[in-house]
Structure 1
Amino acid sequence: MKKLRLIFIFLLACCAISEMQAQKVAVKSNLLYDATATFNLGVELGLARKWTLDVPVNVNPWKFSDGMRLRHWGIQPEVRYWFCERFRRTFIGLHAHYADFNVGSLPNWSFISKNMQQNRYEGHLYGAGISIGHAWILKRRWGIEATLGLGYARIVYDKYPCAVCGTRLKSGNRDYFGPTKVGISLIYLIK
């Protein structure tokens, strides 16, 4: 049985290596993250003629002078199936996500809850979802991609009364179903 397993792994590796010689690679930046001063970089690797693996990472290390916090780091790998060919036109994807966060004292905007304006939350989240997107070619190596995903996230957090207070009000967790991915990304294709 062990020999059979080793032969199977060897054959898989040979197939992957032969496919990698013809693979394309893209690097990208999500412009929506850029708008929140979040550093982000994604790498997308061609796996097969219509399959890719997208691995975006984002980090926001900033503390703002008014006490607002939007500190986080996250990763959201996604396997994509392209209906035309990879990196062109429409795709569907299956993604997972993990993030650590420390957010609170957010601005008094109509779409931000009073809880997020008056308290600080520190913790992590994890989950998975499905997405759909489309890529437009601008020039030979440049493109724009739009994507939207829906899914599940388990959020585990500690709640604090303000951005700098150390007294924990409560610990909790929450199950979230809804949008889990949104992006408008600038893409550079590496051949």
Structure 2
Amino acid sequence: MNKKIVLMLLLAVCSWPGASAQQVAVKTNLLYWATTTLNVGAEVAVSKHSTVGFSANYNPWTIGSDNKIQHWFIRPEYRYWVTEKYTRLFFGVHAIGGKFEVGGFKLPIIGNRILQGLKTNYYKGSFVGAGFSIGYQFYVSPHWNLELSAGAGLARLSYHTEPVNGPKRKSYVDTKRFLPIPTEVGVTFVYLFNSKK
């Protein structure tokens, strides 16, 4: 069901009424691929300085026998480009939402500071949030750009834990909390359709 919703939203963005071919871009984030997260995005220009975009990300994997980083999330975004769309500096505002099941490992550097007991528990739940982003697109060729971006925001998490080794609980109560999170870290290839550059 979730995959169908993501696919329909991507098709809607790509077929935005009034969008000419010169105004549409598709993209993929190389850093997400490095974490084995499948991802794709689309962006449509709505004026000389504004674009709206949508990205979908999905990671279904279990690493080894019990290390899980399973998640999916979607991220609609509005961007304001300082010079012109798909060129140089931009600022963005976005929403983010999805589901996750992670655990069985210890995070490097931050350890247990965010999620206590990550090595011995799976955290299962959902999140919604919003944030701001900043980025820069470099011209590579008439159809290709390279984008660097970063974003941060606030998310509301709703989750429960299950032990990595042991029986699953028959009932549980979700923990709800607000947490500042990075909402985007990107080194992204961007393909521009019928670009006039």
**Secondary structure, in 3 states, of the residue corresponding to 1:117?**
coil
TM-score relative to the length of structure 1: 0.84
> Contact (CA 8 Å) 2:22, 2:192: kept in 1 or not?
no
- Quote the sequence identity (%): 35
How many equivalent residue pairs? 175
**Secondary structure, in 3 states, of the residue corresponding to 1:125?**
strand
What's the CA shift for 1:112?
Answer: 3.5
- Distance in 2, matches of 1:190 and 1:180, equals 27
- Distance in 1, matches of 2:179 and 2:107, equals 23
**Secondary structure, in 3 states, of the residue corresponding to 1:87?**
coil
Corresponding residue for 1:182? Answer: 185
Corresponding residue for 2:146? Answer: 144
Residue identity matched to 2:134 = I
- Distance in 1, matches of 2:33 and 2:117, equals 25
| Deviation readout 1:44-67 (Å, 9 max, x if unpaired) | 111111110121100001122330
1:150-189 equivalent positions in 2, closer than 5 A: 150-162=152-164, 165-167=167-169, 171-189=174-192
Between 57-66 and 90-99, the greater mean CA deviation after superposition: 57-66
RMSD: 2.0
Corresponding residue for 1:111? Answer: 110
**Secondary structure, in 3 states, of the residue corresponding to 2:127?**
strand
> Contact (CA 8 Å) 1:106, 1:112: kept in 2 or not?
no
Corresponding residue for 1:28? Answer: 27
**Inter-CA distance 165–110: structure 2 relative to 1 (3 Å threshold):** farther
> Contact (CA 8 Å) 1:57, 1:75: kept in 2 or not?
yes
> Contact (CA 8 Å) 1:105, 1:163: kept in 2 or not?
no
- Distance in 2, matches of 1:110 and 1:184, equals 22
| Deviation readout 1:135-169 (Å, 9 max, x if unpaired) | 10111111111111121100000111217741267
- Distance in 2, matches of 1:154 and 1:31, equals 27
